[in-house]
Structure formats: C-alpha cells, structure tokens
C-alpha cells in the first residue's frame, strides 16, 4: 500500500520548517520511499525569537504561542499543498513540532505546535506529540529517527545526522543503538552570527582558524561524553556544554569555529570507536545527513578521521540530506496510523517499544 504523507520538522538550529511530501510504500514488511516534493521555509526573525525564548514565557503566553504556532504550521502546510498542486492527494500530516522543553529524567518533554490547531488550519488528519509516550514510559524521547534508519536505510552501519545537535544511529546486524553525540549546527550558527552570517558556508571561516587546544580538551572532558547511552541533549544543554568553555577565550570567531568542528569530529569518532560494527568482506559505511552534511570542511575532517577507523562517509542526494528527518516524521505518522511501533525502546531506554503520537481528525 502507498501512503501519501506530509512530514513537518523544525530542528534546533532554527533555520526553518522542513516540509516534505513523501510516498511511502510497504510490501511484505519492506518499506520504500520517494520524496516527491519538499521545501525548507525560513523562519522570519520574529518567529526565530519567539521559538528561541519560548521556554521562558509565562504559562499563559506559552500556551497561546503553542496554539498560534500550530496555526502557523497549518498555514505553511496549506501553502505548500497549493504551491505543489497536491490538493486531494495528501492523506495525513505528521508534525514533529518545535522542541522547547526536554527533561526526560522528569518524564517531561514538550514540542510546541498544537496538533488540533494545525489540523483545523489545514483540513487534514494530523499526528503530533511524537515523543511523549516514550518519555512517559521512562525513555529519553530521543532520538526517534532510528525507526526510519531501520526501515528505510537499513543497509548502512552508521547513520549520522548533523543538525543543531549531532546524533548517531548504530546498526549492528539489525540491533540499533542511537543517541545524541554533541552540539553541532546550533553552536556553529551562533558563532557565525557574530560575523553577520547565517552560517559558516562550506566551513570556510573555520578552515582559516587555529584550534584552541586547551579549550578543546575542556570541551571533550565533560561528563556527558563519558556517559553511556541512552542519552539526549536539549537545546539549552547543548549550548551550555560549549559556550561557557568558548567564552573563557578571547580568540577569534574563526578559531572558535575550528575548535567546535574539531570537537564534533572527535566526538563522532569516539562514538564510532565505542560502538564497533562487525562487517565481513566489505567496508563499513556511514550515511551523513542534516545541514552539516553541506559543510565541506567539516565533512572532509570527518571523512579523514573515520577512514582511519575503516568507515566510509557517504553523503546522499541533496533531498535526502535536507529532508531525511521530515521524511522519517512522515513514516512515524504512518506507523502511528497503522497502530504499529514507531519508537524503539532499545534506542531511548524506555521500558518497552511504543506507538507514539496524538491523532487529530477534522
């Protein structure tokens, strides 16, 4: 059966809303996909500011923002449908929302973007609140993408997403482990903004810097990196891991960018070394997606390090790089619609696999 679904993803880097219209087909337990249309809608500065500071709002203002953002998601989705001639083609919408609070040790996580408001605005069934059941069951609620890694990209040994936070999925003969590795684009973009840039395109500025070795040692020595999975990072935790150490330095932005790149590459290398995958007669492969996959300097540094560990870095076609997370949100929505497991306890540490997501019908 073919499912025609829109997946929505707003990541911690706040570069915009990813919208992907995907065709998902299941035959005898095997899934295939096609990203038929996709777009990243940049956030206006006003929305960036509101999302960035949502966690500190008074409860009444926060709830109103939750509703308004759901309406905004519905408006953008309706525009996408009209712009791509998809009227009467889309069966449902799966929305990740935008994470503003994540404390799984308190069994609490919250992604704003009210599913009911979204469904009312777009006039389609909506599945939202994708992480909450896992957290209620004692899991980290993250990463949730590994169900897509398992069903859609199972030929890879490692799957790395370099978004605001870098996260890694390890596929060891069909047994999946996944966790947040370290801060990534969230920090790189904040540093680039000091120079009036949205991002350090291709890592050009970082490539001109000098590594601050003492700061790098301090970054690498923090307790999060020695903790065993399951583990995850909120946006605020990710920033706190890096910026106190960087701000102790008066070095240039280029030096700080290079130091963060070295930190990301080193932590990914450490994670791979900690979770070796046996591969008989063929090289181990890592699929790299997310905005960081377009950072040529970062990818070159990563590929060089992982080659020493016998791992080949593979950057797929641009739509998959850009929209893999939105694609997987669509898959998670379809699995919820089918009443099938869509979050893996082996990844999150929950007491059981779960079928996550609230369904909103109009």
Q: Is 310 helix (H, G, I), strand (E, B) or coil?
A: coil
Residues 348 and 281 in one domain: no
Is the model's pLDDT at 278 over the cut of 90?
no
Across 191-197, average pLDDT:
93
Q: What is the mean pLDDT of residues 268-273?
A: 97
Q: Is pLDDT at 251 greater than 70 in this prediction? A: yes
> Does residue 170 sit in the same domain as residue 276?
yes
Ranked by mean pLDDT, which of 142-146, 226-230, 260-264 comes out on top? 260-264
41's tokens: 């809608």
Tell me the average pLDDT across 295-305.
98
CA angle 300–186–191, rounded 5-degree value: 80
- Using one digit for the tens of pLDDT, what is the confidence trace for 168-188? 999 998 899 999 999 999 999
Asked if 336 and 312 sit in the same domain, the reply is no
Q: Are strands 92-95 and 158-162 parallel, antiparallel or unpaired?
A: unpaired
Look at residue 32 in the predicted model and tell me its pLDDT: 97
Boundary of a domain, candidates 319, 336, 351? 319
Phi–psi pair at 97, nearest 5 degrees: 75, -170
Please count the structural domains in the chain.
Answer: 2
Residues 188 and 67 in one domain: no
Look at residue 328 in the predicted model and tell me its pLDDT. Answer: 98
Q: What percentage of the chain reaches a pLDDT higher than 90?
A: 88
> Mean pLDDT, to the nearest integer, of 340-350?
95
Residues 304 and 341 in one domain: no
| Nearest residue to 179 (alpha-carbon basis) of 210, 148, 140 | 140
Q: What distance in Å separates the CA atoms of residue 344 and residue 139, rounded to the nearest whole number?
A: 9
Residues 314 and 342 in one domain: no
pLDDT value at 12 more than 90: no
Q: What's the pLDDT band for 300 if we cut at 50, 70, 90?
A: very high
| Strand order across the beta sheet in which 30-41 lies | 30-41, 17-27, 2-10, 92-95, 126-128, 358-360
Res 280: pLDDT: 63
The tens digit of pLDDT for each residue in 23-40 reads: 999 999 999 999 999 999
Largest CA distance in the chain: 59
For residues 284 and 166, membership in a common domain is answered with yes
What is the structure's pLDDT at 250? 76
What is the DSSP secondary-structure string of 161-210?
EESSEEEEEEEETTEEEEEEEEE-HHHHHHHHHTTT-SS-GGGHHHHTS-
Looking at the structure, do residues 163 and 213 belong to the same domain, yes or no? yes
pLDDT tens-digit readout, 47-83? 999 998 998 999 999 999 999 999 999 999 999 999 9
Mean pLDDT for the stretch of residues 195-223: 95
Share of the chain above pLDDT 70, in %: 99
More confident residue, 106 or 236: 106
Q: Which of 3, 13, 2 is nearest to 322 (CA)?
A: 13
At residue 297, the pLDDT reads: 98
For residue 65, what are the contacts with CB-CB under 8 A and spacing of at least 6? Answer: 50, 54, 57, 112
Residues 281 and 332 in one domain: no
Same structural domain, 64 and 120? yes
Same domain, 247 and 285: yes
- The SS3 of residue 325 is helix
C-alpha–C-alpha distance, residues 260 and 215, integer Å: 9
pLDDT attached to residue 115: 98
Confidence of residue 11 (pLDDT cuts 50, 70, 90): confident
Mean pLDDT of all residues in 93-97: 98
Q: Give the model's confidence band at 235: pLDDT under 50 very low, under 70 low, under 90 confident, else very high.
A: confident
CATH number of the domain encompassing residue 243: 3.30.420.40
The length of the chain is 362
pLDDT band at 151 (very low <50, low <70, confident <90, very high): very high
Q: Reply yes or no on whether the pLDDT at 248 is more than 80.
A: no
The range of the structural domain enclosing residue 118 comes to 2-146+323-360
Write the CB contacts of 348 (distance below 8 Å, at least 6 apart in sequence).
Answer: 134, 139, 140, 141, 142, 143, 144, 230
Query: Average pLDDT over the chain, rounded to whole?
Result: 94
Same structural domain, 51 and 35: yes
Per DSSP, the residues of 249-300 read ----HHHHHHHHHHHHHHHHHHHHHHS----SSS-EEEEEESGGGG-HHHHH
- Residues 33 and 151: their CA atoms lie apart, in Å, by 10
pLDDT of amino acid 301: 98
pLDDT band, residue 281 (cuts 50/70/90):
low
In the predicted structure, residue 13 carries a pLDDT above the cut 80: no
């Amino acid at each position: 059966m073919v499912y025609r679904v829109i997946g929505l993803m707003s990541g911690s880097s706040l570069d915009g809303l990813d919208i992907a219209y995907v065709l998902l087909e299941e035959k005898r337990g095997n899934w295939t996909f096609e990203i038929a249309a996709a777009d990243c809608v940049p956030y206006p500065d006003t929305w960036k500011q509101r999302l960035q500071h949502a966690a500190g709002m008074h409860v009444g203002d926060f709830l109103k923002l939750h509703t308004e953002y759901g309406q905004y998601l519905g408006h953008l989705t309706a525009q996408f449908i009209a712009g791509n001639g998809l009227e009467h083609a889309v069966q449902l919408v799966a929305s990740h929302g935008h994470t503003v609070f994540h404390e799984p040790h308190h069994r609490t996580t919250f992604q704003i973007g009210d599913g009911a408001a979204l469904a009312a605005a777009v006039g389609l069934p909506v599945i939202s609140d994708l992480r909450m059941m896992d957290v209620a069951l004692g899991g980290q609620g993250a990463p949730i993408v590994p169900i897509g890694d398992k069903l859609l990209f199972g030929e890879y040994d490692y799957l790395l997403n370099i978004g605001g936070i870098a996260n890694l999925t390890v596929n060891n003969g069909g047994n999946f482990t996944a966790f947040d590795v370290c801060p990534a684009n969230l920090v790189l973009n904040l540093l680039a903004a000091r120079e009036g840039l949205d991002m350090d395109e291709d890592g050009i500025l970082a490539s001109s810097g000098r590594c601050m070795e003492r700061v790098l040692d301090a970054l690498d020595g923090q307790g999060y990196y020695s903790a065993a999975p399951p583990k995850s990072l909120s946006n605020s935790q990710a920033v706190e891991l890096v910026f106190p150490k960087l701000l102790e330095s008066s070095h240039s932005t280029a030096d700080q960018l290079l130091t963060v790149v070295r930190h990301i590459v080193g932590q990914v290398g450490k994670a791979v070394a900690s979770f070796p995958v046996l591969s008989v007669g063929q090289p181990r492969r890592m699929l790299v997606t997310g905005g960081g996959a377009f950072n040529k300097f970062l990818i070159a540094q990563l590929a060089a390090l992982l080659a020493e560990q016998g791992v080949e870095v593979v950057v797929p076609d641009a739509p998959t790089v850009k929209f893999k997370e939105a694609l997987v949100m669509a898959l998670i929505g379809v699995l919820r619609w089918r009443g099938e497991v869509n979050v893996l306890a082996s990844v999150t540490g929950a007491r059981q696999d779960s079928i996550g997501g609230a369904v909103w019908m109009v």
